[in-house]
Amino acid sequence: MLSFSFAMLGLTEYLLLAVAAIYLAIQFLKPKVKLPPGPRGLPVVGNILQMTEKPHLQLAAWAKQYGEIYTIQLGSNTGIVLNDQKLIKDVLSNTDFSFRPDIPLFSMFSGGEYGIINTNGAAWEEQRRWVLRKLRDYGFGKTSMEGVILDEVSEVVEYFKANGKTPIEVADRFNVATMNSIWTILNGKRLSQDDPKIRAVLTAFHDVPAAIGNSGLMFAPWLRHVYPKSYQVVKNAADSVMKYARAAVSEHFDSYQDGITRDFIDEYIDEIKKTEEPSSSFHTNEGRKNLEAVVSDLIQAGAETSSNTITWAIAYLSHNTKVQVELQKELDTVLGTRPVALSDKPDLPYTEAVILETLRHSSIVSGGVQHSEVNGYTIPKGAWIFTNIYFVHHNSKIWGDPENFRPDRFLSNDGKKLVKALIPFQSGRRQCLGESLARDTLFFIYKYHLSKI
């Protein structure tokens, strides 16, 4: 038994040496390019182990050390981190940088490389163009969505008022409310706040950020063998949202009638049925898989991006009494007792400043590239581009006192809105789908319902 143990130890050492030798050989054979400077990492894992606790703080610390652009190594993936507002906007507005890297962990949420979040090339262009056009046709991002958003916010606020003495999970209620704003477009129906199926989806999502952030799973899929519980949390969430999306799509296919379009999903099915080009992402079974993924993508945009922003907004406001007073003063002066409308935005600069400060204070969000060049550095094909939004929005050289919640930093002396380096929802062609929904929902929460609470 003793000799067997020594034999096994020798085999383990041999395997480790073999892995290290292969890794060093790969690094040696890689074509040499002029990469931005960056922190030194470990063999095989690179900088992953330095980013598992609070990655946004580690990225910010490196930004202070290396400047507006630096390189990190995430397992076998090269990461390029952008830490300057102008550089971020310039890079992400370039079509070379709209490429989305292959991240198996994220692909699970769309059933593979389908939809608009996890696709690239012609399929992404085709899906993105069609989806955005149809969303706009149904009023997404327009004043015609005003009534839908207002109804959802009203229901949540009334619930808070009726249960004021009971501890309430704010995010829990706003998750469904923001999802409903999208779901009424997708499915033509509202979800009940207590719908068990959507509750199951939202519950599954709850622990995903911690599972990903604390394990490095996003950067190195093989770590699922090291962190099986974290991987299972992510898989359960992905399975849950895809199951929900597929059920909605199946229901629509079963009840679809030619010439009758009830909602967004029907419009998509209509596009599938009339598409004859085999190479199209709308063609037959490929089209159905893309539809399921698009529904999943939009659920995530509504349930996560928008509701998380709103939850932060409530938290910041509740801890800043002076801001509440100023906000109430502006509402009373401009609106009096009449209802608020999106058209009132230009007349409510302080409230807009509160929204901007909320977006600045709560920011954290990324992509990959084709082979290109930035600031004289060569960015190799397949590199991951990280937009260090947290650092940009917490850079003391720009904001002075970034740790403080101070809306008036966005206002000039005459009270007009003064937008500085703010990139809350990503830039470029991969801009977040939930941006307009989050902004408009915040508008109604702050401008209409605050006066009723």
CA trace torsion 234, 236, 293, 192 (10° rounding): -120
Question: Which amino acid is located at 94 in the chain?
Answer: N
| Cα–Cα dist 424/446, whole Å | 18
Please give the radius of gyration of the chain, using alpha carbons only, rounded to the nearest integer: 24
Q: Residues with Cβ < 8 Å from 386, sequence gap 6 or more?
A: 59, 72, 79, 80, 81, 82, 366
| Cα–Cα dist 158/146, whole Å | 18
The per-type count for the chain, helices as H runs and strands as E runs, is: 18, 6
Question: Which amino acid is located at 305 in the chain?
Answer: T
Q: Please name the residue that has the structure tokens 């002029």.
A: 34
Pairing mode of beta strands 384-387, 367-368: antiparallel
CB atoms within 10 A of CB 450: 18
Distance of CA 43 to the CA centre of its chain: 30
CB atoms within 10 A of CB 41: 17
- Nearest to 178, CA basis, from 305, 345, 361: 305
φ/ψ of 337, rounded to 5, equals -105, 0
Tell me whether residue 432 is annotated as binding: yes
| Cα–Cα dist 239/111, whole Å | 9
Buried b (16+ CB within 10 A) or exposed e, 111-140: bebbbbbbbeeebbbbbbebbeebbeebeb
Q: Please name the residue that has the structure tokens 């962990």.
A: 105
Which sign does the torsion angle of CA 386, 391, 393, 399 carry?
Answer: negative
Question: Which amino acids are annotated as binding site, given as ranges?
Answer: 432
Residues belonging to the binding site for heme are 432
